[in-house]
């Protein structure tokens, strides 16, 4: 997940031009975009084999309740940095299971905009998400009581920054979840141009690792980003290594490069 987050941070640091306003408060938003899934640190350090696919478990296939606890641990991590970071990260966690507050058309595994909740664990997970709603109320009250941060939680300002976080996350997932030949034209809706205006950014492949983004939300005419990771092959039934984590981390790190261009 930290590789995904590093890609998200590259996008948000480049976001903004004459047409798209940069987020404010800048440092807190950038930090949250670059750390919004840090509740995965422990889980990622000990990957679990998903036997049906032969690949590591992910957010929709991981053991319950372990994988779902990241929805609380990620806001915990961010809240330790600043209450506003915790608020945005908590909204992200809740939104993953609730169509990202209705601000996305991006489809994840299974073709859904929300992460499905396994019926046997519905009560446990809904209680966890209710806890995040309570966290959000408390953090909003705390920030509103401070004159230096009160305007940060005004509805337009807060939702603008939440939508920026979702754009960076789903844009990174467009690359992280799909192989090159699976990346077609994608619509990213509700990308904030200002407090009062959103845009739909269309990303489409041009050739190789070049992609057009229209309208172009980044500084300059071209944005080149890099993402590290490890290639793994599916484990066939009955051949799982004794230490699955060691087998994964023994693989060399590779780098993918993507270029977004203005047309």
- pLDDT per position as a tens digit, 78-94: 999 999 999 999 999 99
Distances (CA, A) of 25 to 45, 86, 151, 218: 32, 14, 10, 18
Tokens of 171: 């844009």
- Residues of the chain with pLDDT > 70, as a percent, come to 97
pLDDT at 102: 94
Query: For residue range 157-204, what is the model confidence (pLDDT) as tens digits?
Result: 999 999 999 999 999 999 999 999 999 999 999 999 999 999 999 999
Distances (CA, A) of 133 to 97, 150, 154: 12, 19, 17
Please state the pTM of the whole predicted model: 0.95
Residue 24 has pLDDT above 60, yes or no: yes
User: What mean pLDDT, rounded, does the chain reach?
Assistant: 94
pLDDT-based confidence at residue 206 (cuts at 50, 70, 90): very high
**Is 111 exposed, middle or buried, given 0-12, 13-18 or 19+ CB atoms closer than 10 A?**
exposed
pLDDT at 66: 67
Instruction: Find residue 20's DSSP bridge partners.
Output: none
pLDDT at 238: 86
pLDDT at 203: 98
SS3 state at 4: helix
Residue 64 has pLDDT above 60, yes or no: no
């Amino acid at each position: 997940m930290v590789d995904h987050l590093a890609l998200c941070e590259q996008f948000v640091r480049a976001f903004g031009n004459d047409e798209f306003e940069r987020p404010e408060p800048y440092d807190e938003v950038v930090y949250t975009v670059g750390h919004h899934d840090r509740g995965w640190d422990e889980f990622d350090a000990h990957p679990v084999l998903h036997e049906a696919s032969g690949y590591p478990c992910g957010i929709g296939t991981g053991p319950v309740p372990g994988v779902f606890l990241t929805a609380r641990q990620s806001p915990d991590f961010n809240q330790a940095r600043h209450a506003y970071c915790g608020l945005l990260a908590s909204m992200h966690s809740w939104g993953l299971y609730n169509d990202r507050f209705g601000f996305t058309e991006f489809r994840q595994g299974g073709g859904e905009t929300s992460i499905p909740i396994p019926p046997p664990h519905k009560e446990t997970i809904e209680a966890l998400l209710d806890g995040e709603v309570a966290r959000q109320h408390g953090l909003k009250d705390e920030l509103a009581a401070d004159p230096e941060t009160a305007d940060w939680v005004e509805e337009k300002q807060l939702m603008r920054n939440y939508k920026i976080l979702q754009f960076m996350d789903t844009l990174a997932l467009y690359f992280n979840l799909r192989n090159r030949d699976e990346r077609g034209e994608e619509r990213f809706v509700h990308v904030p141009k200002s407090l009062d205006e959103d845009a739909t950014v269309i990303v489409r492949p041009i050739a190789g690792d070049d992609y057009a983004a229209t309208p172009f939300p980044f500084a300059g005419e071209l944005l080149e980003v890099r993402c590290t990771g490890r290639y793994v092959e599916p484990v066939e039934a009955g051949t799982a290594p004794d230490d699955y984590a060691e087998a994964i981390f023994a693989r060399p790190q590779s780098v993918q490069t993507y270029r977004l261009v203005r047309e």
